[in-house]
Amino acid sequence: MGDSTAAGLKVLGACHHDCPDTCAWEVTVVDGVATRLQGSASHPFTAGTLCPKVHRFLDRVYHPDRLLSPMRRTGPKGSGDFEPIGWDEAIAEVAGRMRGLIDAGRPESILQFSFAGTQGLIQMGVALDRLFDVIGASDIRRDLCGATSWHGAASVLGTPYGIDPESLRHSRTIVLWGTNTRITNRHLWPVIEQARAAGALVVVIDPVRTDTAKAADVHLQVRPGSDVALVLGLLHVLDRDGLLDQQWLADATRGWPELQASARPWDPERAALATGLPAERITWLAERMATQGPTGIRTLIGAEHRFNGEEIVRGVTMLAAALGSWREVGGGLARSTQTWQLSALAMPRRRSGRRALNMARLGEMLAPESPLDPAIELLFVHNSNPAVILPDQNRVLAGLAREGLFTVVVEQFMTDTAAYADIVLPTTSQVEHLDLSHSWGHLYLALNQPALAPLGQCRPNSQIARDLAAALGLDDDLLRQDDEQLIRGLLSSGHPFLEGITYERLAEEGWARLAVPQGARPHVDPIPGIPNGPMRLGALEHRPGQETLDGASPLRERYPLALISRKQHPKFLNANYGGFPEHQPSAGGPHLQIHPVDAAARGIEDGGMVRVGNDRGEVTVRAEISQDVQPGLVAMPFGWWNRSTPQGRAVNALTNPALADDDRGSAYFHDTLVEVIGIAGGRAAEGASA
């Protein structure tokens, strides 16, 4: 567990946030108090540094606003008025309500709503998932992040193992496709800088001039949602100029003739019109990728939050497949590594049969007119803040406010969601519980060991699962296991990636790389555990979403601007810190970036307050006139709490909740049209009441 010295006990752990980096850390504990948190210098990816959001995480642990006892609501839903109650009473009440619904034959009227507030596997899902699985409650499909990209990449690669992001250090051409590495995946940036020092060129494809675009060699500022047209233009040039290896296409892929036919009409001039890029830039990039390899394409989820998000990721994956750069270390597609990690672990099997509902639809599900049968009567939220993170926020808040809905929220803080709870259960933070942390940005697993006893009366999510199981009289082996047994279970798969990785080794060393050699080439080398089949290419069509600058929606007349709500603040991590003044930017509350042309057309001044609205809602924020966005595109950061605007609403009051017809994948957050109106004479200080 670490070293004990006069300076205190050092406990090894890892960051729990939903961030690709999963940094390994060390907590120094003196007399039961955590005095220091630092990155583990030995970890190859973290290399001793945390990030601006987390290096003062102990302030969050000991924050005066931490929830320290169970509470019952005393005021109206949303008011945040609560009184403390004991655990026995809280568990008895929650279990009693659950029992009533189970006995009435309506276990599915209980909805487990959860996401990735912690990525430690036990506290994220394993324990509570089992509880809800055993009782047959409705499950939430956690599709809001990554699922769309997974489907897009899987349609080409089968199981979508991308390359190890660390191998990008060997690339000569690095394309950061719709990912803001320096903000969202900052420990990958040194890897990219290493490649650069050895001569690599870094290209960013993003409709916004992000911090990453500013640090890159080339920024291709595409029209939002036009990436499929760019892929087709690139493939057109690659094909026309004989830059593709026909032998590779024949051996390693299927379906090239269909993809080739799709690309034929997309000469660079046509692609230039659709993407807003100069035609010669498209020709240049195609040549560069084919002739200056290895070409590594890196993507996360930036382009998936759209109607055509899955097609964008599929297109980018087919481009990487056609290029054949996978044959060289540093070539290929680097995407989420979650597939590597989860396939190695013995994740508990779900029972079949319980209905699973797409999380983006929560507002709809909770509405009185919802056709769901049975309707949702008990909502149990853990590891998520749906009042802030879901699209069409007004609908979500109306749902949470519904009388007759009994809501339980397991939280560390009085979030915008917790304020709607009937019962709040206080939960431990990462330094207070045991967990196995996986990563979706690299190939290292980490054991997070508790450095502290739980603060106040907090209990880990897993303990809450066990307490409820006991109160419900459930007889299930996994619900009796403690956290260490559950982790040992996950590590017991016998999968080749786990060779040599034991609980004891993790406890001693803190972290371990999956047993995958550096430089292993997925889809080329035979890697035990990874199926190698031909990559599936096929026809590809550029279809912009309805609610976009190029779409067919009649809304465009009233709402002529497209809104992006990306992760933007270096000190925010989703909605974890948006309510904490010490994490907020010095310029004050939320802002909207708007291009000088659009600002001038509306008489908007830099720093003036503006109303941003559409049929779904409105928020008042400060305008920042910026060339970082393009004409027609405005950007507002995601992560601010609802109470940060005069309306008590954040950017998701505006965003589009639409989903694919088959109900899978993420909502079309970024396919959102708005209008922006300046508030006459409204300077920031007057307009913001929060």
**Is 610 an interacting residue with respect to Mo ion (CB under 5 A)?**
no
d(CA 558, CA 285): 37
**Which value, to the nearest 10 degrees, does the dihedral of the CA atoms of residues 430, 435, 439, 445 take?**
130
Q: CA dist 499 to 9, 202, 528, Å?
A: 30, 35, 11
Q: Rounded to the nearest whole angstrom, what is the least distance from the CB of residue 500 to ligand SF4 in the complex?
A: 24
Total residue count of the chain as it appears in this document? 690
d(CA 581, CA 641): 11
Number of residues that bind Mo ion (CB under 5 A): 1
Partner interacting with residue 222 (select from ligand MGD, Mo ion, ligand SF4, none; CB below 5-8 Å by kind)? ligand MGD
- Please enumerate in sequence order all residues whose Cβ is within 8 A of that of 561, keeping only pairs 6 or more positions apart, or say none: 594, 598, 632, 633, 634, 673, 674, 675, 676
Other C-beta atoms within 10 Å of 214: how many?
A: 11
Phi, psi of 447 (to 5 degrees): -100, 125
- Please enumerate in sequence order all residues whose Cβ is within 8 A of that of 294, keeping only pairs 6 or more positions apart, or say none: 170, 171, 172, 173, 325, 328, 329, 330, 331, 332
Phi, psi of 142 (to 5 degrees): -85, 65
Partner interacting with residue 224 (select from ligand SF4, Mo ion, ligand MGD, none; CB below 5-8 Å by kind)? ligand MGD
d(CA 53, CA 139): 31
Q: Rounded to the nearest whole angstrom, what is the least distance from the CB of residue 685 to ligand MGD in the complex?
A: 26
Residues that bind ligand SF4 (CB under 6 A): 15, 17, 19, 21-23, 50-51, 53-54, 186-187, 573
For Mo ion, the closer of residues 145 and 157 by Cβ is 145
Partner interacting with residue 411 (select from Mo ion, ligand SF4, ligand MGD, none; CB below 5-8 Å by kind)? ligand MGD
173 alpha carbon, distance to own chain's centre: 26
Q: Rounded to the nearest whole angstrom, what is the least distance from the CB of residue 54 to ligand MGD in the complex?
A: 10
Q: Rounded to the nearest whole angstrom, what is the least distance from the CB of residue 320 to ligand SF4 in the complex?
A: 25
- Please enumerate in sequence order all residues whose Cβ is within 8 A of that of 142, keeping only pairs 6 or more positions apart, or say none: 114, 115, 116, 359
484-519: b (≥16 Cβ within 10 Å) or e:
eebbbbbbeeebebbeebebeebbebbbbbbbbeee
CB 394 within 8 A of CB 619: no
Partner interacting with residue 207 (select from ligand MGD, ligand SF4, Mo ion, none; CB below 5-8 Å by kind)? ligand MGD
Q: Rounded to the nearest whole angstrom, what is the least distance from the CB of residue 526 to ligand MGD in the complex?
A: 31
User: DSSP E strands: which ranges in 185-266?
Assistant: 201-205, 218-220, 253-254
| Cis amide linkage into residue 374, ω under 30° from 0 | yes
For ligand SF4, the closer of residues 119 and 275 by Cβ is 119
d(CA 392, CA 287): 42
Other C-beta atoms within 10 Å of 632: how many?
A: 18
For ligand SF4, the closer of residues 14 and 379 by Cβ is 14
For ligand MGD, the closer of residues 260 and 439 by Cβ is 439
Partner interacting with residue 54 (select from ligand SF4, Mo ion, ligand MGD, none; CB below 5-8 Å by kind)? ligand SF4
For ligand MGD, the closer of residues 29 and 230 by Cβ is 230
Coil, strand, or helix at residue 367? coil
Partner interacting with residue 15 (select from ligand SF4, Mo ion, ligand MGD, none; CB below 5-8 Å by kind)? ligand SF4
Closest CA to 316 of 196, 179, 195: 179
- Please enumerate in sequence order all residues whose Cβ is within 8 A of that of 581, keeping only pairs 6 or more positions apart, or say none: none
**Is 409 an interacting residue with respect to Mo ion (CB under 5 A)?**
no
For ligand MGD, the closer of residues 114 and 260 by Cβ is 114
Q: Is 197 exposed, middle or buried (0-12, 13-18, 19+ CB in 10 A)?
A: exposed
Q: Rounded to the nearest whole angstrom, what is the least distance from the CB of residue 160 to ligand SF4 in the complex?
A: 22
Partner interacting with residue 115 (select from Mo ion, ligand MGD, ligand SF4, none; CB below 5-8 Å by kind)? ligand MGD
Which residues on neighbouring strands pair with residue 683, listed in sequence order?
608
For ligand SF4, the closer of residues 112 and 437 by Cβ is 437
Contact map string, positions 299 to 338, toward Mo ion, x by CB under 5 A = ----------------------------------------
d(CA 143, CA 645): 28
Contact map string, positions 460 to 499, toward Mo ion, x by CB under 5 A = ----------------------------------------
Partner interacting with residue 389 (select from Mo ion, ligand MGD, ligand SF4, none; CB below 5-8 Å by kind)? ligand MGD
For ligand SF4, the closer of residues 300 and 625 by Cβ is 300
**Is 277 an interacting residue with respect to Mo ion (CB under 5 A)?**
no
For ligand MGD, the closer of residues 131 and 329 by Cβ is 131
d(CA 608, CA 395): 29
| Gyration radius of the chain's alpha carbons | 25
For ligand MGD, the closer of residues 223 and 521 by Cβ is 223
Pair of tokens at residue 460: 């880990």
Coil, strand, or helix at residue 33? strand
**Is 145 an interacting residue with respect to Mo ion (CB under 5 A)?**
yes
Residues that bind ligand MGD (CB under 6 A): 16, 18-19, 115-118, 123, 144-145, 177-180, 183-184, 205-208, 210, 222, 224-225, 227, 300-303, 306, 382-385, 389, 410-413, 415, 427, 461, 564-567, 570, 572-576, 638-639, 651-652, 655, 669-670
For Mo ion, the closer of residues 127 and 145 by Cβ is 145
Q: Rounded to the nearest whole angstrom, what is the least distance from the CB of residue 3 to ligand SF4 in the complex?
A: 22
For ligand SF4, the closer of residues 167 and 181 by Cβ is 181
For ligand MGD, the closer of residues 73 and 209 by Cβ is 209
Q: Rounded to the nearest whole angstrom, what is the least distance from the CB of residue 138 to ligand MGD in the complex?
A: 18
**Is 124 an interacting residue with respect to Mo ion (CB under 5 A)?**
no
d(CA 89, CA 166): 50
The residues binding Mo ion (CB under 5 A) are: 145
